Chains A and B, each alone.
Chain A
Amino acid sequence: MAALGGCLLVLIGVAVACALWAVWRYNNLISLKNQVANAWKQIDVQLKRRHDLIPNLVSAVKGEMQFEQDTLEKVIQARNSAVAARGVADSADKENQLTQTLSRLFALAENYPNLKANENVKALMEELTSTENKIGFARQFYNDLATRFNTAQQIFPDNLIAQAFKFQSVELFEITVPAEREVPQVDLSLKPK
C-alpha cells in the first residue's frame, strides 16, 4: 500500500511539474508575441513619418527640379500607394518601390547645386535619410524578434505548447525587389573597351 501511495505522489509531482513548465513556456511565447507586435508598430511609426515628410520634400525641390516632373510624380504616386498598402507583404513591396523612387530623386538632386546649398532642402534630406535608417533598423529589430518568436515555436519541446495553443509563425521582412537581391556584377578585367 505504501508503495502505491509513493507512486501516486511521484505521479502527482510529475503532473504538477509538467503543468508549471507548460505555463512557463506558454507565457514566454505570449510575451514574445507581444514584443513582435510592438516592434511591428514601431515600423509603422517610422513609415508614417516618411509618408508625412515626402510631400514637404517634393514641394521644396519642385521649383528647382522642373525638368524632373516625371520623377517627382512617381515619388508621389509611390508614396500614395504605400500609404494605401495593407498587410506585411504588400506594404513591404510598396515601401520598397517608394525607397527606389526616392533614391532616384536623391541621385538626381545631386545635379542641382542650388538644391545642395539650400539649408531647408538639406535639413529635409537629412531628416529623410535618418527616417530611412530608422525604418531599416526598426525592420531589423522586428526581424530579430520575429525570428526568436518563430524559433521558440519550432524547437522541441516548446513546439508542443505552440501547436496546442495554435500559435502562428510571423512573416519576416524580405527584399522583394529583384534588383536589390541580385549580386552586383563587377568586371575587374583590364580589357579595352
Chain B
Amino acid sequence: MTNLYDQQRQNLRRTTALLAGFVAFLAFLGIGADAFLYGTGFSPGFPIATLGALLLGGFSAWWSVQGGDKAVLESTHAVPIQRGDPRQRLVDDVVEEMAIAAGLPKPAVYLIPDPDPNAFATGIGPERSSIAVTQGLVETLNREELQAVVSHEMSHVRNYDVRVMTVVAALVGSILLLSDWGRRGLWWGGGRRDDRERGGGGLMALVFFVLWLLSLILAPIIAQLVAMAVSRQREYLADASGAELTRNPLALASALEKIDAATAPTRSIKQGVAHLCIEDPRGSALNDREGAFASLFATHPPMAKRIALLKEMAYQKART
C-alpha cells in the first residue's frame, strides 16, 4: 500500500521523465531533418534544423507561459468573487485557509457563472495564480468538500502544474509544426537527399532514417498521447497533495463523487483549460470509460480510480 508522500515522489519522477522525453523527441526530429533534408549527413556541420527545433519549442513555451492566465480567465467569463454573498465568501475563506496550509500567497479567486460543478487553477506559479470555481460547485458542495476541491487546485498551483502543462502544450504545438514542415520538406527535397545519402550511410543510417520517417508520420499522435499522459499524472499528484493539505482524503473523494454525478459538460470552460480542471469539462464520457484505448486520450484519469485511490489513502479500501 502506498502512502501520500510516496505517491507524490513517484508522480514527480514520472513527470520529469516525460518532459525530458518530449525535448529528446523534438531534438530527434531536428537531427533527422539535419541529416536527411539538409544533407549534412552524420558529418559535423551546422545543425540548423536541430537548433531551430529546440529554439521553436523553447520560444513558444516561454511565450505561452507569460500571458496565458488572463486569456484563460476571460474566455470562461470568470468574475472576481463577491465577499458580500455568504456562499461566495465561504469559498474565498476556504481559498485563504488552503493558501495558509500550503504556505503560499493567496491566489485571486474567481466565480464562473455556470451551473455544472467544476473548478480550475491558472497562473505562472505560486507568486501569480488564480483559482476559479463555477456557480454549480459553490452551490452543491459543503464546506469540507469545497475545501478539498480548492486543495486540489492549490496543489496544481504549488506543483507548478499550470506551468508544466502550458509548456507541454507548447511543445506539442512545436512538434506538430515541425513534423508537418518535415513531411513537406521530404516531399519537395527528396531528390537532393538521395544524392547526399551515399556519402554518410551504411545500415545504421538506413535504420535511423526509417525510424525518423516513422516518427515524422506518427509525431502528431505520439505528442498528444504523451501530453494526455502528463495531464493524467498531474491529476493524481494534485489529488494526493491536495489530500496532504487537508489531511482529509475522504472529503475530496466525496466531492469527486458529487461532481461526477453531475454529468453535464461545463460549457463555459474551453477544452484548452481541461487539464487544469478538477474534472474534464467535456462531461465525463471519455474519462469514465475504463478501456485502455479511451483512457489514452483522456486528460483526466477515470473518476472511479481517483476516488478509489483517495479512499485507499485514508486506509479505507473502496467497497465495490
Contact = CB atoms under 8 A, between A and B. Distances in A.
Nearest to A45: B100
Nearest to A138: B100
A126 B101 contact: no
Contacts of A39: 103
B103 A126 contact: no
A91 interface: no
Contacts of A123: 86, 89
B101 A141 contact: yes
Interface residues of A, number: 16
Interface string B81-113: 000001001100110111011110000000000
A137 B97 contact: yes
A140 B247 contact: yes
Nearest to A127: B93
A131 B100 CA distance: 11
Contact of A130 (B93, B245, B247): B93
Contact of B100 (A122, A129, A137): A137
A46 interface: yes
* Chain A interface main SS type: helix
Given A130-B97, A133-B97, A134-B97, A141 B90 contact: no
Contacts of A133: 93, 97, 147
Most buried by B among A46, A127, A133, A145: A133
Interface string B117-150: 0000000000000000000000000010001000
B100 A134 contact: yes
Contacts of B247: 140
Contacts of A46: 100
B89 A141 contact: no
Contacts of B97: 130, 133-134, 137
Contacts of B143: 129
Contacts of B103: 39, 42, 141, 145
A128 to B, nearest CB: 11
Interface string A125-164: 0110110011001101100010000000000000000000
Given A39-B103, A127-B93, A137-B101, 7 more contacts: A42-B103, A46-B100, A126-B93, A133-B97, A141-B101, A141-B103, A145-B103
29 contacts: A39-B103, A42-B100, A42-B103, A46-B100, A122-B86, A123-B86, A123-B89, A126-B86, A126-B89, A126-B90, A126-B93, A127-B93, A129-B143, A130-B90, A130-B93, A130-B94, A130-B97, A133-B97, A134-B96, A134-B97, A137-B97, A137-B98, A137-B101, A137-B245, A138-B100, A138-B101, A140-B247, A141-B103, A145-B103
Interface of B: 86, 89-90, 93-94, 96-98, 100-103, 143, 147, 245, 247
Interface of A: 39, 42, 46, 122-123, 126-127, 129-130, 133-134, 137-138, 140-141, 145
